[in-house]
Amino acid sequence: MITAPKIEYLQLAPLLLVFGAAVLGVLVEAFTPRYLRRAIQIPVTLLSLAGAFALTIVQTLKGVPTEPSAMGAVAVDGPTLFIWGTILVLAFVCVLLVNDEEHFVAAASAVPGSAEEERAFIEGNVHTEVYPLALFAIGGMLLFPASNDLLIMFVALEVMSLPLYLLCGLARRRRLLSQEAAVKYFLLGAFSSAFFLYGTALLYGFAGSVDLAKIAAALGSVAGQNGLLYLGAALVGVGLLFKIGAAPFQAWKPDVYQGAPTPVTALMAAGTLVAAFGAVLRVFWVALGNLIWSWEPVMWAVAILTMVVGAILAITQTDIKRMLAYSSVAHAGFLLVGVIAIGDAKQNSLALGAILFYLAVYGVTTIGAFAVVTMVRDPGGEAWHLSRWAGLGKRSPKLAGLFAFFLLAFAGIPLTSGFFGKYAVFQAAVADHATPLVVVGVISSAIAAFFYVRVIVLMFFSDPAADGPTVVVPSWGTAAVVGFSALATVVLGVFPQPVLDLAKSAAGSLFVG
Amino acid sequence: MTTHYLVLSALLFAIGGIGVLVRRNAIVVFMCVELMLNACNLAFVTFARQHGNIEGQVIAFFVMIVAAAEVVVGLAIIVTIFRTRRSASVDDASLLKY
């Protein structure tokens, strides 16, 4: 006899709402006339994200669940709820940016420059499929850090990635770059998820289960299968480190960030990073926590390499989006420092709280920076080359000032949110006696500060070119995004305590199996 | 006895991995990724047999579904870039660098 599985619908409600809205969006694409679609898709998307956020808050107020949901498949614990809240806010903001129809292609299947594309352009077609695709990706992002077994994690990884591969190829201008970014992201992403899956298979062979808690238990009880364990852990690690863009798996990041439509880049840079770090923490802390003596040295090397490679390669960039991509690589390295700072329960709560706070503030600032990038335009599209940004401070001081502020927050200057994020992570690492790692982190931050400041100097102390880029008047969505990001960066830089406390209390209730 | 299947699965995975690295045509690269996923399936089913539980067999079904979804998305992307460039070579698409 088969007993029906027990599903805690209320705990999973945010996930179900987002996926439900995504399915509804697909039906809207199928059954409503073209001219109505946009008017339906935008409210459906925004309302579902807001509703999911409200449901997450309700769940938090009702008390954090003490047991995994859905027969042990999904762990809705404190960190998950915090990450859900963060991702939903970031996603909402990104959708406001996506809403600016300027960024997406009129007919993705048409050959760039063909008559077919021209016709779609003139008819004013827009791909409203962007909204359900984004919702599926966001749903995957919510499930990825909440998954309590490796199979759910793999499925979530794909649900998150597949729509993003498509979204990358939908830029309105510079179609060739956009398509190339999609192909590169797709092939490398599929390659890395194959590694993740083989690692999962080996860990299943080791433990006889893909449940994270059962793998953790098998570490102590299964003997003589170390080959399977180490190889499996390494392969799963490769798959996850690829998604966060840690060196030596960072090569896709600049290419994809540059080619993708900028709102999608913002969604990837903020949402995917948060989700992937949640998954990294779950695998390495919950399933492989007792294996720390084996993975810690490797993670040290990866963290150092990621910070240094990100910071140094960012200096050599001449393209603003590539520079922000390498900056994102460096920030992934800083976050890995926090992942290494695992220890006893008190230390874990300190480190996990720091990582959660860092993820939230970094995500908000990144979206703000990319939103500014969408507003500085050349006739052929956004002005990406750094030389085009020279003297922007003299032509439109407000926008350049905001961008400079976001860059200072990336650099971690006091009175911006980035400072407290870095401080919290490095403090946790020092408490775990990982001081050499913190020294490397601080040096990389200094190198990184150099190229952030270089852009600021370029904007404010160079003469503007005669045919410089124009700063477009932002749509209400873009203006709201920039305003929100700037406000959040200031507020979290001056009064970080409430969010720090929230992150710390969320960190206290991680399910450890 | 099941070890043979694991060796076969590792070989298939390695062939797929090497194929991704050395082949030039995006379609062939993608087929190599699919080969890697199938190698994973073989490993899952073999381990399920070893452990005497059906979890691994169920996972193999999930992987097939995911692989099918990946084919849809992947071929769409590769066909679009082929229509633009008249080539599916991963070496030709090299505008994004440095």
- Under an 8 A CB cutoff, do A179 and B84 touch? yes
pLDDT value at residue A101: 67
By Cβ distance, the residue of B13, B39, B81 closest to A183 is: B81
**Rounded Cα distance, A368 and A373, in Å:** 9
Residues of chain A contacting B69 with CB distance shorter than 8 Å: 158, 162
A259 contacts in B (CB within 8 Å)? 96
Residue B26's pLDDT is: 93
* Closest Cα in chain B to A155: B66
With a CB cutoff of 8 Å and minimum separation 6, the contacts of A275 are A83, A87, A140, A141, A142, A144, A145, A160
**Contact residues on chain A for B97, CB-CB shorter than 8 A:** 255
Q: Cβ of A198 under 8 Å from any chain B Cβ? A: yes
Residue spans per domain, chain B: 2-85
Report DSSP state, residue A64: -
Fold exhibited by the domain B2-85 = Helix Hairpins (1.10.287)
Q: What pLDDT shows up at residue B86?
A: 85
Please indicate whether, in this complex, the C-beta atoms of B40 and A201 are within 8 angstroms of each other.
yes
Across the interface, whether the CB atoms of B30 and A187 are under 8 A apart is answered yes
A contact test, residue of B38, B59, B75 with most A CBs within 10 A: B59
* B93·A180 Cβ contact <8 A: yes
- Residue B41 pLDDT grade (very low, low, confident, very high; cuts 50, 70, 90): very high
Spell out which residues of chain B touch residue A112, defining contact as CB-CB under 8 Å.
Answer: 84
Confidence of residue B98 (pLDDT cuts 50, 70, 90): low
Does A259 sit within 8 Å of B62, measured CB to CB? no
DSSP-derived letter for residue A440 is H
Say if A194 is an interface residue toward chain B (CB within 8 Å). yes
* Chain B CA closest to residue A189: B33
Q: Helix A435-461 to helix A292-315 angle, to the nearest 10 degrees?
A: 20
**Residues A189, B69: contact at Cβ < 8 Å?**
no
Residue A513: what pLDDT?
55
Number of residue pairs across A and B with CB atoms under 8 Å? 128
Tens digit of each residue's pLDDT (9 = 90 or more) over B9-37: 999 999 999 999 999 999 999 999 999 99
- Report d(CA A399, CA A409) in Å as an integer: 15
Q: What pLDDT does A222 receive?
A: 83
Whether residue A333 contacts residue A246, with contact meaning beta carbons closer than 8 Å, is answered with yes
In residues, how long is chain B?
A: 98
User: Which of B26, B69, B77 lies nearest to residue A169, judging by beta carbons?
Assistant: B77
Compare A308 and B90 and report the one with higher pLDDT: A308
Q: Which residue in the set B36, B43, B66 is minimally distant from A205, CB to CB?
A: B43
Helix, strand, coil percentages, rounded to 5, for chain B: 80, 0, 20
Low-confidence ranges of chain A (pLDDT < 50): none
